[in-house]
């Protein structure tokens, strides 16, 4: 039997952590981000099934109306071209966190890895309650733990493709009981498999801390807990530094989304890449360099180059040079894009 410990489990099998190279830790190659209520034939007002093209991609991306087509990425050839662009720009690996409720496509991920040579790691588990499959309502923590552990050890979503990380596990503000049940199972799965745990926190500034405290109280490993989407959640040093002091990993994963208008929560002003880098510098200067991850969280068509967006290549082509111009050293960039991902994706 192959021992998975000390290795990274990609969709094509186990690999050496050094084989990853620069890694995007939070992306979606294939996804259906439409709320279940928007997936039927009858659409609510303000929701259109008009296809996204270069004439409406700004509106679709900005959130000027809901374009269901924008929230679905499923064309293999389009995604393959974007993954190849990423590889040309210097990327080596992608973590796809499309979990239950978001339309995971394990076999397409495996095909993508085989055809492009890019290492792909897939997530296990379930997204926020609104999206969760009906089955999670009746499942116990033990049953959910068994399901998620199976996704890592045997294969996920009816296939033999194995996940290599847990998450993104979805939470909201306020955090629902069903989501807490899934999180409890995710912590148990972490203990059983040695995988890292990625969390999509709710949008209240205190929610990442609430998750960190919950995981810590149940004996989860804080140095293997990744809190996603901090760029849309925390806007003050006290809240950010308190969270960093737990040892959890802080992920700024909306790089390339440069509109201040954030349609999922219009009450906040989304930072641009320059401000994201400013926050990364503050964390690094306080000694948290090894707790930082960056990614794009591509989850809509409008963020792909084919539809006028930045694509998976953006961080390597544009963000890294900007970080270097703003005082990061190449060694620091490598810690964020190479060493920390390799450490987290290694099964312990």
Contact set with Zn ion (CB under 5 A): 97, 297
DSSP states along 177-197: HHHHHHHHHHHHHHHHH---E
CB atoms within 10 A of CB 157: 17
Nearer to Zn ion, 131 or 307 (CB): 131
> Exposed, middle or buried, 37 (CB in 10 Å: 0-12/13-18/19+)?
exposed
Nearer to Zn ion, 97 or 320 (CB): 97
Provide, rounded to whole angstroms, the least separation between the CB of residue 9 and Zn ion.
19
Provide, rounded to whole angstroms, the least separation between the CB of residue 132 and Zn ion.
15
Provide, rounded to whole angstroms, the least separation between the CB of residue 299 and Zn ion.
6
Nearer to Zn ion, 97 or 144 (CB): 97
Nearer to Zn ion, 99 or 240 (CB): 99
Provide, rounded to whole angstroms, the least separation between the CB of residue 323 and Zn ion.
22
CB atoms within 10 A of CB 138: 7
> Exposed, middle or buried, 345 (CB in 10 Å: 0-12/13-18/19+)?
buried
Provide, rounded to whole angstroms, the least separation between the CB of residue 319 and Zn ion.
18
Report the residue count for the chain.
348
Strands (E) in the chain, as ranges, are: 8-10, 13-15, 23-27, 31-32, 47-48, 66-67, 72-73, 93-96, 119-124, 165-170, 197-200, 225-227, 249-252, 292-294
Sign (positive or negative) of CA dihedral 107, 171, 73, 93: negative
Helices and strands: H and E segment counts in the chain: 12, 14
**CB closest to Zn ion, residue no:** 297
Nearer to Zn ion, 128 or 284 (CB): 128
Nearer to Zn ion, 25 or 185 (CB): 25
C-alpha 101/C-alpha 126 separation (Å) is 7
Provide, rounded to whole angstroms, the least separation between the CB of residue 33 and Zn ion.
9
Nearer to Zn ion, 44 or 264 (CB): 264
Nearer to Zn ion, 312 or 328 (CB): 312
C-alpha 91/C-alpha 107 separation (Å) is 22
Provide, rounded to whole angstroms, the least separation between the CB of residue 345 and Zn ion.
16
Q: Tokens 């954030």 identify what position?
A: 262
C-alpha 122/C-alpha 110 separation (Å) is 9
**Listed residue (117, 139, 158) closest to 10, CA to CA:** 117
Provide, rounded to whole angstroms, the least separation between the CB of residue 156 and Zn ion.
17
C-alpha 15/C-alpha 120 separation (Å) is 11
């Amino acid at each position: 039997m192959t021992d998975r410990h000390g290795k990274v489990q990609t969709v094509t099998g186990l690999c050496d952590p050094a084989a990853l190279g620069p890694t995007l830790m939070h992306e979606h190659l294939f996804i259906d981000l439409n709320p279940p209520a928007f997936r039927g034939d009858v659409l609510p007002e303000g929701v259109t099934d008009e296809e996204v093209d270069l004439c409406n991609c700004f509106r679709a991306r900005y959130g000027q109306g809901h374009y269901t087509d924008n929230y679905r990425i499923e064309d293999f050839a389009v995604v393959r071209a974007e993954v190849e662009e990423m590889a040309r720009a210097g990327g080596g690996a992608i973590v796809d966190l499309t979990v239950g409720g978001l339309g995971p496509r394990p076999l397409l991920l495996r095909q993508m890895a085989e055809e492009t040579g890019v290492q792909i790691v897939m997530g296990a588990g379930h997204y926020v309650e609104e999206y969760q499959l009906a089955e999670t309502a009746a499942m116990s923590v033990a049953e959910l733990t068994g399901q998620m552990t199976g996704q890592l050890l045997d294969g996920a979503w009816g296939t033999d493709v194995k996940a290599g990380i847990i998450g993104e596990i979805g939470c909201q503000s306020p955090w629902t009981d069903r989501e807490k049940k899934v999180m409890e199972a995710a912590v148990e799965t972490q203990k059983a498999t040695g995988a890292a745990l990625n969390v999509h926190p709710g949008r209240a500034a205190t929610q990442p801390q609430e998750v960190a405290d919950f995981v810590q109280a149940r004996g989860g490993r804080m140095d293997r807990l990744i809190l996603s989407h901090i760029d849309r959640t925390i806007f003050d040093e006290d809240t950010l530094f308190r969270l960093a002091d737990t040892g959890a990993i802080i992920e700024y994963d909306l790089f390339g989304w440069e509109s201040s208008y954030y349609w999922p929560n219009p009450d906040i002003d989304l930072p641009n890449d320059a401000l994201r880098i400013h926050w990364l510098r503050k964390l690094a200067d306080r000694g948290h360099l090894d707790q930082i991850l960056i990614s794009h969280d591509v989850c809509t068509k409008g963020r792909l180059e084919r539809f006028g967006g930045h694509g998976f290549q953006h961080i390597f082509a544009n963000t890294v040079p900007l970080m270097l111009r703003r005082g990061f050293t190449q060694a620091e960039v490598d810690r964020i894009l190479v060493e920390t991902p390799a450490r987290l994706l290694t099964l312990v």
